[in-house]
Structure 1
Amino acid sequence: MTATLDRPTAAATGSVVGAWRAVWLRVEGRWTWYRRHWTASLLASGLQPVLFLAAMGIGFGSQVRPGPLTDGVPYLAYVAPTILVSGLITVGVTEAGLPVLSGFKWKQDYWAVASSPVSSGQLFGAELVWIALRLTFGAAVYLVVAAVAGGWTSAGALLVPPIAILAGVACAAPVMAFAATTKGDGHVFAAVNRFVVMPMTLFAGTFFPVERLPLPVRPLAWISPLWHGNELVRGAALGGLRWWPALGHLAVLVALLVVGIALGRRAFQRRLVV
């Protein structure tokens, strides 16, 4: 086989170790690098949602009076759960974009891993698990900071981090699949953030109710994974979460995750197995 920049001369040997063992070997490698360079990625690791909380919940929120649009609670408590969801989705999509493409195109470490006893599917799973761990770290930091700032009003706030992590991973999985099929220089991921993630953050119920949007554009908010996550965490944190709608929102996020995993494993295999 002739080597190219995007496809080194490496052939996968197949999996000869247990699936979870293979996944954790890759995660261990990620952790070895991260614990030495965590300050370089501190913003993406946990500070981004905290900064949004300070700006919107504390800064802008000090000018908003509690009322019907905030469910009768202070604006800080109204946006604290949803800012975490939008922040983790942003971080998840970012980590699933250029860094994954780099593993194929520039760093090319995916080719080395695929030539080891770790299969392409296990590699995909390991990268997704690592993103989930990064999001978990960010959620833990945010949970404590928001509690100190007074953003939580009930014990239901403990349900906010796992829901937000699910939403972030569910959005990261299909982006990883897309990154595995990308052949260019990755400029498309800037477009994804600008035209998909940012509009979701602004218009999917993070800062104000979707009902305040014009009726013709509301369906665009309803089909976004962020809206489903926002409905879950706000209901959990503020109370009033109804089971049947909650199960529907949860089903959408789980379905997105399952489809993203299926597409991602297939895309990784097609690109790595030679």
Structure 2
Amino acid sequence: MDALARARSAPAFRELGYWLFRYRRTWRGSIVISVANPLLFLTALGLGLGKLINHNHSEYLHVPYVRFILPGMLVAAVMQTAFLEAAGPVMDAARPRGSYRAATATPLAPADILYGHLMYWALRAVQNAILFTGVSVLFGAVSPYRAPLLVPIALLVAVAFATPAAAWAVTVTRPSQVTAVFRFAVLPLYMFSGTFFPIEQLPAWLRPVAWATPLWHGVDLCRTVALGTETLPGVLVHTAYLAAMAAAGLAVARRTYRRTLHV
């Protein structure tokens, strides 16, 4: 009990507590969206469009389309949420009257503020992944025995995107910059990561570009695990790529948070 009490009183957990307190006002809508999104995607793309694709027997697909698209949609949704949660809110919090500025007037260090907010993003990613995979199991899009394995993958993807987004957003002063990055960098990843169709259908010159994107690594890792076709080398490569991206983002974020919040 003493150890638990000390953990709860750690500076980063105090920052986490602030974000959880704010989330108390919006959690219902968040959960509805987390359930509605997979329902809509799986119904429209998996069962609707999927019937046409399955009927034409695509040479690139060896499983029903709903089972193919589910892992991609899960990882893409986690990526989008991670960016949105770590970009706009961080930019607002780092403004002169933002919550970050208020926190710096307390014993919290910039690193404590970063870690506390990061834990909040991680919890949101786990919540969304559990709800998404739960709906997918009901649709028969993923095995109930494989579904729990997708949650830590979604968490890794979320941290890999959230940390560099936060490292950059804490230095941003205009909302239009966040909008531009989301529109011209984040959204195009959907089309070049194997989310909706196999990478093999892209032109040969474009495939290496797709293979280099972090979303493709998350999608391919999630899809192979969901379908039971994963290999140890593949899992290690994908995991190492995403972990390196998360570590690099965290290292840069520590520096940008310190420079921005100590001004």
TM-score by length of 1: 0.87
Give the match for residue 194 of structure 1. 183
Give the match for residue 12 of structure 2. 23
The AA in structure 2 aligned to 1:159 is: L
The AA in structure 1 aligned to 2:98 is: Q
Give the match for residue 3 of structure 2. none
Q: Evaluate the alpha carbon distance shift between residue 64 and residue 227 of structure 1 in structure 2; reply closer, same or farther with a 3 A threshold.
A: same
Q: Could you tell which deviates more after superposition, 217-226 or 31-40?
A: 31-40
Find the aligned partners of 2:255 and 2:102 in 1 and give their Cα distance: 18
Q: Secondary structure at the match of 2:47?
A: helix
Please tell me whether the aligned partners of residues 45 and 134 of structure 1 are also in contact (alpha carbons under 8 angstroms): no
Q: Secondary structure at the match of 1:193?
A: helix
Q: Could you tell which deviates more after superposition, 239-248 or 249-258?
A: 239-248
Structure 1 residues without counterparts, runs of 5 or longer: 1-16
Give the match for residue 140 of structure 2. 150
Query: 2:73 aligned with 1:83, yes or no?
Result: yes
Q: Evaluate the alpha carbon distance shift between residue 162 and residue 113 of structure 1 in structure 2; reply closer, same or farther with a 3 A threshold.
A: same
Please tell me whether the aligned partners of residues 92 and 98 of structure 2 are also in contact (alpha carbons under 8 angstroms): yes
Deviation at 1:44, TM superposition (A): 6.2
Please tell me whether the aligned partners of residues 221 and 238 of structure 2 are also in contact (alpha carbons under 8 angstroms): yes
Deviation at 1:188, TM superposition (A): 1.6
Q: RMSD value over aligned CA atoms?
A: 2.1
Deviation at 1:47, TM superposition (A): 4.2
TM-score by length of 2: 0.90
What's the % identity of the aligned pairs? 34
Deviation at 1:208, TM superposition (A): 0.9
Query: 2:235 aligned with 1:254, yes or no?
Result: no
Q: Evaluate the alpha carbon distance shift between residue 20 and residue 69 of structure 1 in structure 2; reply closer, same or farther with a 3 A threshold.
A: farther
Give the match for residue 46 of structure 2. 57
Q: Evaluate the alpha carbon distance shift between residue 260 and residue 50 of structure 1 in structure 2; reply closer, same or farther with a 3 A threshold.
A: farther
The AA in structure 1 aligned to 2:250 is: I
Please tell me whether the aligned partners of residues 95 and 101 of structure 2 are also in contact (alpha carbons under 8 angstroms): no
Instruction: Pick the aligned partner of 2:128 from 122, 132, 138.
Output: 138
Please tell me whether the aligned partners of residues 124 and 268 of structure 1 are also in contact (alpha carbons under 8 angstroms): yes
After superposition, residues 1-274 of structure 1 pair within 5 angstroms as: 21-42=10-31, 47-65=36-54, 67-71=58-62, 73-105=63-95, 107-153=97-143, 155-183=145-173, 185-274=174-263
The count of corresponding residues between Structure 1 and Structure 2 is: 256
Find the aligned partners of 2:237 and 2:9 in 1 and give their Cα distance: 30
The AA in structure 1 aligned to 2:222 is: V
Deviation at 1:98, TM superposition (A): 1.0
Q: Evaluate the alpha carbon distance shift between residue 49 and residue 168 of structure 1 in structure 2; reply closer, same or farther with a 3 A threshold.
A: farther
Structure 2 residues without counterparts, runs of 5 or longer: 1-5
Find the aligned partners of 1:125 and 1:215 in 2 and give their Cα distance: 41
